[in-house]
Amino acid sequence: MDERLSKLRGELDSIDAEMLRLFARRMETAKVIGAVKREAGIPVEDAEREAELIAARLEEAPEEARAGGERLLRLLIEESKAVQRAGLDLYLIGMPDCGKTRLGKKLAARLGRPLVDTDKLIMERTGMSIDEIFSKLGEESFRDMETALLRSIASRGGLIVATGGGMPLRAENVRLMRGSGTVVFLDRALERLLGQSTVNRPLIAGSTREESDEKLTRLYRERREAYQRAAHFSVDPDSPDAPDKVGILFRIP
Protein backbone atom coordinates (compact mmCIF):
# COMPACT_ATOMS: atom_id res chain seq x y z
CA MET A 1 0.00 0.00 0.00
CA ASP A 2 1.09 3.55 -0.68
CA GLU A 3 3.10 4.57 2.35
CA ARG A 4 1.69 8.08 2.44
CA LEU A 5 -1.88 6.75 2.47
CA SER A 6 -1.25 4.35 5.30
CA LYS A 7 0.39 7.11 7.32
CA LEU A 8 -2.59 9.42 6.78
CA ARG A 9 -4.98 6.62 7.71
CA GLY A 10 -3.03 6.05 10.88
CA GLU A 11 -3.43 9.72 11.65
CA LEU A 12 -7.20 9.49 11.15
CA ASP A 13 -7.31 6.46 13.42
CA SER A 14 -5.69 8.33 16.24
CA ILE A 15 -7.92 11.40 15.68
CA ASP A 16 -11.00 9.11 15.84
CA ALA A 17 -9.74 7.40 18.96
CA GLU A 18 -9.15 10.78 20.59
CA MET A 19 -12.58 12.01 19.51
CA LEU A 20 -14.22 8.93 21.02
CA ARG A 21 -12.38 9.48 24.28
CA LEU A 22 -13.65 13.05 24.28
CA PHE A 23 -17.12 11.83 23.34
CA ALA A 24 -17.12 9.46 26.33
CA ARG A 25 -16.06 12.37 28.55
CA ARG A 26 -18.81 14.54 27.11
CA MET A 27 -21.43 11.83 27.74
CA GLU A 28 -20.22 11.29 31.30
CA THR A 29 -20.52 15.03 31.93
CA ALA A 30 -23.96 15.13 30.28
CA LYS A 31 -25.09 12.32 32.57
CA VAL A 32 -24.01 14.23 35.68
CA ILE A 33 -25.75 17.35 34.35
CA GLY A 34 -28.84 15.15 33.93
CA ALA A 35 -28.70 14.19 37.61
CA VAL A 36 -28.29 17.84 38.68
CA LYS A 37 -31.23 18.86 36.46
CA ARG A 38 -33.31 16.07 37.90
CA GLU A 39 -32.66 17.22 41.47
CA ALA A 40 -33.55 20.78 40.56
CA GLY A 41 -36.59 19.75 38.48
CA ILE A 42 -35.08 21.37 35.38
CA PRO A 43 -36.22 19.80 32.09
CA VAL A 44 -33.72 17.98 29.87
CA GLU A 45 -34.52 20.08 26.84
CA ASP A 46 -33.94 23.81 26.48
CA ALA A 47 -34.20 24.78 22.81
CA GLU A 48 -33.08 28.36 23.40
CA ARG A 49 -29.91 27.29 25.18
CA GLU A 50 -29.17 24.74 22.46
CA ALA A 51 -29.37 27.42 19.76
CA GLU A 52 -27.12 29.79 21.75
CA LEU A 53 -24.60 27.07 22.45
CA ILE A 54 -24.38 25.99 18.80
CA ALA A 55 -24.01 29.59 17.60
CA ALA A 56 -21.25 30.31 20.15
CA ARG A 57 -19.26 27.16 19.30
CA LEU A 58 -19.54 27.80 15.55
CA GLU A 59 -18.38 31.34 15.93
CA GLU A 60 -15.14 30.27 17.59
CA ALA A 61 -14.64 27.29 15.21
CA PRO A 62 -12.30 27.41 12.19
CA GLU A 63 -14.17 28.39 9.03
CA GLU A 64 -13.83 24.96 7.39
CA ALA A 65 -15.37 23.22 10.42
CA ARG A 66 -18.57 25.29 10.48
CA ALA A 67 -21.06 23.47 8.18
CA GLY A 68 -20.12 19.94 9.27
CA GLY A 69 -19.49 21.20 12.79
CA GLU A 70 -23.08 22.29 13.15
CA ARG A 71 -24.34 18.82 12.15
CA LEU A 72 -21.89 17.21 14.55
CA LEU A 73 -22.89 19.47 17.44
CA ARG A 74 -26.58 18.73 16.84
CA LEU A 75 -25.85 15.02 16.92
CA LEU A 76 -23.83 15.34 20.13
CA ILE A 77 -26.64 17.30 21.75
CA GLU A 78 -29.16 14.60 20.77
CA GLU A 79 -26.91 11.94 22.31
CA SER A 80 -26.57 13.97 25.51
CA LYS A 81 -30.32 14.43 25.80
CA ALA A 82 -30.83 10.70 25.26
CA VAL A 83 -28.43 9.86 28.09
CA GLN A 84 -30.14 12.38 30.35
CA ARG A 85 -33.60 11.04 29.51
CA ALA A 86 -32.41 7.53 30.31
CA GLY A 87 -32.01 8.44 33.99
CA LEU A 88 -35.45 9.97 34.14
CA ASP A 89 -38.99 8.66 34.02
CA LEU A 90 -40.94 8.09 30.85
CA TYR A 91 -44.58 9.12 31.15
CA LEU A 92 -47.18 7.83 28.72
CA ILE A 93 -50.26 10.02 28.60
CA GLY A 94 -53.46 9.97 26.58
CA MET A 95 -57.12 9.01 26.47
CA PRO A 96 -58.49 5.89 28.11
CA ASP A 97 -57.64 2.81 26.05
CA CYS A 98 -55.14 4.60 23.83
CA GLY A 99 -52.58 1.87 24.54
CA LYS A 100 -50.56 3.34 27.42
CA THR A 101 -50.20 0.02 29.24
CA ARG A 102 -49.68 -1.95 26.02
CA LEU A 103 -46.90 0.29 24.73
CA GLY A 104 -45.58 0.62 28.30
CA LYS A 105 -45.09 -3.16 28.51
CA LYS A 106 -43.21 -3.27 25.22
CA LEU A 107 -40.98 -0.38 26.24
CA ALA A 108 -40.36 -1.84 29.69
CA ALA A 109 -39.07 -5.04 28.08
CA ARG A 110 -36.95 -3.10 25.62
CA LEU A 111 -35.51 -0.54 28.01
CA GLY A 112 -35.20 -3.01 30.88
CA ARG A 113 -37.11 -0.73 33.25
CA PRO A 114 -40.07 -1.31 35.52
CA LEU A 115 -43.52 -0.27 34.35
CA VAL A 116 -45.94 1.28 36.80
CA ASP A 117 -49.59 1.93 36.11
CA THR A 118 -51.02 4.76 38.21
CA ASP A 119 -54.62 3.44 38.18
CA LYS A 120 -53.42 0.03 39.30
CA LEU A 121 -51.25 1.46 42.07
CA ILE A 122 -54.14 3.57 43.36
CA MET A 123 -56.40 0.51 43.38
CA GLU A 124 -53.77 -1.54 45.21
CA ARG A 125 -53.13 1.16 47.79
CA THR A 126 -56.77 1.90 48.53
CA GLY A 127 -58.07 -1.64 48.08
CA MET A 128 -60.88 -0.09 46.01
CA SER A 129 -61.69 -0.11 42.31
CA ILE A 130 -61.60 3.21 40.39
CA ASP A 131 -65.39 2.97 40.04
CA GLU A 132 -65.72 2.63 43.82
CA ILE A 133 -63.35 5.54 44.51
CA PHE A 134 -65.35 7.78 42.18
CA SER A 135 -68.72 6.77 43.61
CA LYS A 136 -67.74 6.68 47.32
CA LEU A 137 -65.11 9.44 47.57
CA GLY A 138 -65.70 11.50 44.43
CA GLU A 139 -63.53 12.46 41.46
CA GLU A 140 -61.63 15.19 43.34
CA SER A 141 -60.34 12.66 45.89
CA PHE A 142 -59.19 10.42 43.06
CA ARG A 143 -57.37 13.35 41.44
CA ASP A 144 -55.68 14.14 44.77
CA MET A 145 -54.55 10.52 44.99
CA GLU A 146 -53.13 10.80 41.46
CA THR A 147 -51.14 13.92 42.35
CA ALA A 148 -49.81 12.40 45.59
CA LEU A 149 -48.75 9.26 43.71
CA LEU A 150 -47.08 11.29 40.99
CA ARG A 151 -45.07 13.17 43.61
CA SER A 152 -43.63 9.93 44.93
CA ILE A 153 -42.99 8.58 41.41
CA ALA A 154 -41.28 11.82 40.33
CA SER A 155 -38.83 11.61 43.20
CA ARG A 156 -37.76 8.09 42.23
CA GLY A 157 -36.76 8.09 38.56
CA GLY A 158 -36.01 5.41 35.99
CA LEU A 159 -39.61 4.23 35.63
CA ILE A 160 -42.01 3.87 32.75
CA VAL A 161 -45.32 5.27 33.89
CA ALA A 162 -48.68 4.48 32.29
CA THR A 163 -50.86 7.30 33.60
CA GLY A 164 -54.62 7.51 34.06
CA GLY A 165 -56.28 9.46 31.24
CA GLY A 166 -56.98 12.50 33.44
CA MET A 167 -53.43 12.91 34.79
CA PRO A 168 -52.37 15.83 32.53
CA LEU A 169 -55.46 17.88 33.41
CA ARG A 170 -53.89 19.37 36.53
CA ALA A 171 -51.10 21.88 35.96
CA GLU A 172 -49.28 20.52 39.02
CA ASN A 173 -49.24 17.02 37.51
CA VAL A 174 -47.87 18.33 34.21
CA ARG A 175 -45.14 20.21 36.08
CA LEU A 176 -44.22 17.09 38.06
CA MET A 177 -44.07 14.90 34.95
CA ARG A 178 -42.14 17.35 32.78
CA GLY A 179 -39.72 18.14 35.61
CA SER A 180 -38.89 14.49 36.23
CA GLY A 181 -39.05 12.89 32.82
CA THR A 182 -40.08 12.69 29.22
CA VAL A 183 -43.79 12.91 28.48
CA VAL A 184 -45.12 11.09 25.43
CA PHE A 185 -48.70 11.55 24.22
CA LEU A 186 -50.23 8.47 22.60
CA ASP A 187 -52.39 10.20 20.04
CA ARG A 188 -54.85 7.48 19.00
CA ALA A 189 -57.53 8.51 16.52
CA LEU A 190 -61.02 9.03 17.98
CA GLU A 191 -62.59 6.31 15.79
CA ARG A 192 -60.23 3.78 17.35
CA LEU A 193 -61.02 4.91 20.87
CA LEU A 194 -64.76 4.41 20.57
CA GLY A 195 -66.55 1.26 21.73
CA GLN A 196 -64.22 0.56 24.66
CA SER A 197 -64.93 -1.08 28.01
CA THR A 198 -66.17 1.34 30.65
CA VAL A 199 -65.09 -0.79 33.62
CA ASN A 200 -63.14 1.48 35.98
CA ARG A 201 -63.77 4.40 33.63
CA PRO A 202 -66.62 6.17 35.41
CA LEU A 203 -66.28 9.26 33.24
CA ILE A 204 -67.38 7.39 30.15
CA ALA A 205 -69.79 4.92 31.73
CA GLY A 206 -73.24 5.27 30.16
CA SER A 207 -76.43 3.24 30.03
CA THR A 208 -75.92 2.50 26.34
CA ARG A 209 -72.92 2.13 24.03
CA GLU A 210 -74.03 5.30 22.17
CA GLU A 211 -74.08 7.28 25.41
CA SER A 212 -70.59 6.06 26.37
CA ASP A 213 -69.24 6.90 22.94
CA GLU A 214 -70.78 10.35 23.16
CA LYS A 215 -69.13 10.99 26.54
CA LEU A 216 -65.83 9.72 25.22
CA THR A 217 -66.05 11.95 22.15
CA ARG A 218 -66.70 14.98 24.35
CA LEU A 219 -63.77 14.08 26.59
CA TYR A 220 -61.52 13.62 23.56
CA ARG A 221 -62.41 17.07 22.17
CA GLU A 222 -61.94 18.72 25.55
CA ARG A 223 -58.61 17.08 26.28
CA ARG A 224 -56.63 16.58 23.10
CA GLU A 225 -55.01 20.00 23.22
CA ALA A 226 -54.07 19.61 26.88
CA TYR A 227 -52.39 16.29 26.07
CA GLN A 228 -50.44 17.90 23.25
CA ARG A 229 -49.35 20.78 25.45
CA ALA A 230 -48.29 18.51 28.29
CA ALA A 231 -46.18 16.24 26.08
CA HIS A 232 -42.65 16.57 24.74
CA PHE A 233 -43.49 14.17 21.90
CA SER A 234 -46.58 12.61 20.33
CA VAL A 235 -46.78 9.20 18.70
CA ASP A 236 -49.53 7.26 16.99
CA PRO A 237 -49.76 4.13 19.18
CA ASP A 238 -51.29 2.16 16.30
CA SER A 239 -48.31 2.66 14.05
CA PRO A 240 -46.07 -0.43 14.10
CA ASP A 241 -42.98 1.71 14.63
CA ALA A 242 -44.35 3.42 17.79
CA PRO A 243 -41.99 1.47 20.14
CA ASP A 244 -39.02 2.37 17.89
CA LYS A 245 -39.99 6.03 17.85
CA VAL A 246 -40.11 6.20 21.63
CA GLY A 247 -37.08 3.91 22.08
CA ILE A 248 -34.90 6.16 19.92
CA LEU A 249 -35.40 9.01 22.41
CA PHE A 250 -33.36 6.86 24.78
CA ARG A 251 -31.08 5.50 22.04
CA ILE A 252 -32.47 2.01 22.64
CA PRO A 253 -32.50 -0.08 19.44
Can you give the binding site for ligand S3P, defined by CB under 6 A? Answer: 96, 119, 130, 164-166, 200-203
Indicate the residue among 34 and 168 with the shorter CB distance to ligand S3P: 168
CB 115 within 8 A of CB 142: no
Distances (CA, A) of 84 to 32, 156, 233: 8, 15, 16
Indicate the residue among 165 and 237 with the shorter CB distance to ligand S3P: 165
Query: Smallest gap, in angstroms, from Cβ of residue 34 to ligand S3P?
Result: 29
Alpha-carbon distance 168 to 238, whole Å?
21
Query: Smallest gap, in angstroms, from Cβ of residue 154 to ligand S3P?
Result: 18
Alpha-carbon distance 5 to 206, whole Å?
77
Indicate the residue among 166 and 181 with the shorter CB distance to ligand S3P: 166
Sheet strand arrangement including 160-162: 115-117, 160-162, 89-93, 181-186, 233-235
Alpha-carbon distance 164 to 149, whole Å?
11
Query: Smallest gap, in angstroms, from Cβ of residue 252 to ligand S3P?
Result: 24
Cα-atom radius of gyration of the chain, to the nearest Å? 23
Indicate the residue among 31 and 170 with the shorter CB distance to ligand S3P: 170
Indicate the residue among 119 and 187 with the shorter CB distance to ligand S3P: 119
Query: Smallest gap, in angstroms, from Cβ of residue 245 to ligand S3P?
Result: 21
162 phi and psi angles, rounded to 5 deg? -90, 115
* Helix (H) or strand (E) run with residue 234 in it: strand 233-235
Longest dimension (CA), the chain: 84
Indicate the residue among 78 and 132 with the shorter CB distance to ligand S3P: 132
Query: Smallest gap, in angstroms, from Cβ of residue 161 to ligand S3P?
Result: 11
Query: Smallest gap, in angstroms, from Cβ of residue 51 to ligand S3P?
Result: 36
